[in-house]
Amino acid sequence: MSYVGDPFVHDVFVSYSHGDEDGDGDSPLKRWSQAFARELESELRQYPGFGRDLSVFLDQGPRPEQALDPLSPLTNALRESVALSALVTVLTSPHYLQSKWCEDEREWWQAAQGKHRLSREGRIAVARVWPVPQEAKWPPLLADERGHPLLGFCFYDQKRADARPQPYEWPAPDPTSKGAFREVLLELTGALRRQLDAVKGHLAERRRVMEDAQKLEGDNQVLYLHARADQAKAWEAAGDALGKSGFVVLPSDPEPVERDPAKLQRLRTARVETLNGCDALVLLGSEDGRAVDADLVVVGRQDRHSARALSNRLLPCALVNRAGPALATPQRKDNARKLQVDWIEGASEPWVPELQHWLANKGTSLRSAQ
């Protein structure tokens, strides 16, 4: 498995031309490119976070698990390896731009990103290893919207390119290679490391969101049912209905109305701590419209946002209107919408199925947004 994790098997795929003019399967450019890939992997492995998980794929690499299986069909094996690579490092040269194999690799990788539902931006690193004629047409994947090639990292002396087009450390870099080659290589590996961390973080966040979506769409969700102590009977009735439908309802009692600032702060701290472990927040609407307005702002926005910052979860919020039309004024409903609190009419029975439907929709929307 790769450092970035599922769905990728490889962290970096090195795409290069064999530069095989004679058709004998070997060339000086191929030997330099393979040596470059070894040095690239060696430098990447110097970052402690990668450990043994890092996988740099090369079609003919020294590690069997990071190279093509000689017993497998070439095209299928290469297509799969390209598709399952998080980043691509392209070694550009005139040979590369003319290579049909290299074109196929780019197309396979690009097509796979749609299935992975990931942006391609920043995930292709261009290593310029041989001067390319100025009039050469660059593939769209390696160019900006105006067709200008990506700047990338230059591994040859641009000032002497006409007289000496060979890359640094020709005919092949090795662990003792220093100077310009090592400097540019370190810049490249630093960029790759940052991007691998970004992809890993994005995938971890997506997995977390999908877990949240699954909870919202499933059973036995934990709900924070908020009501004030003067609405104890309504709170108990709502909690009983939710409990019979399979929900876990917290807290154990409606909340007291505190006037003392110190006690009020302790109450809010406890509320946020409990909210942190819940799947959703439900505000129980009552006939006291002023109290509902305050709860929308303090509990539905401020405390919920504090809990979301702790748990890094969606924590959707709905107001269940048990008071009827008197509470459901256009202004109050509009305020709730602006505070990202959904409105559920619950004055008539049964109202719990509507809340279940709301939670399922929240999970579905969360899943489809990924």
Percent with pLDDT over 90 in the chain: 68
Residue 2 lies in a domain: no
Same domain, 196 and 229: no
Residue 177 lies in a domain: yes
Q: What is the tens place of the pLDDT at every residue in 28-77?
A: 999 999 999 999 999 999 999 888 899 999 876 444 444 444 434 346 77
Same domain, 144 and 21: yes
Q: Would you state the pLDDT for residue 136? A: 87
Same domain, 125 and 82: yes
Residue 335 lies in a domain: yes
- Encoded amino acid at 188, one letter: L
Q: Would you state the pLDDT for residue 90? A: 96
Q: Would you state the pLDDT for residue 109? A: 93
Average pLDDT (116-126) is 88
Same domain, 199 and 222: no
Q: Would you state the pLDDT for residue 213? A: 81
CATH code of residue 303: 3.40.50.280
Query: What separation in angstroms does the CA of 113 have from each of 10, 152, 308?
Result: 14, 21, 30
Query: Among residues 153, 188, 213, which one ends one of the domains?
Result: 213
Average pLDDT (76-80) is 81
pLDDT at residue 327 tops 90 = yes
Q: Domain residues for 56?
A: 10-213
CA distance 67 to 82: 11
Same domain, 193 and 269: no
The two structure tokens encoding residue 207: 């997995």
* Contacting residues for 311 by C-beta, under 8 A, at least 6 apart: 276, 277
Residue 157 lies in a domain: yes
Same domain, 114 and 66: yes
CATH code of residue 19: 3.40.50.10140
Residue 1 lies in a domain: no
| DSSP output for 311-338 | H-S---EEEEE-S-TTT--HHHHHHHHH
pLDDT at residue 304 tops 60 = yes
Pick from 113, 116, 53: nearest CA to 88 = 113
Residue 41 lies in a domain: yes
Same domain, 166 and 300: no
Average pLDDT (126-155) is 91
Q: Would you state the pLDDT for residue 49? A: 87
Query: Among residues 213, 243, 275, which one ends one of the domains?
Result: 213
Question: Phi first, then psi: what are they for 92, rounded to 5°?
Answer: -85, 145
Per-residue buried b or exposed e for 141-177, using 16+ beta carbons within 10 Å of the residue's own CB: ebeeeeeebbebbbbbeeeeeeeebbbbbbebbeeeb
Residue 171 lies in a domain: yes
Average pLDDT (155-175) is 95
Q: Which residue has the higher pLDDT, 67 or 347?
A: 347
Average pLDDT (160-164) is 93
Domains held by the chain: number: 2
Same domain, 361 and 288: yes
pLDDT at residue 256 tops 80 = yes
> Interior CA angle at 50 toward 49 and 51, to 5°?
95
Q: Confidence class of residue 211 from pLDDT cuts 50, 70 and 90?
A: confident
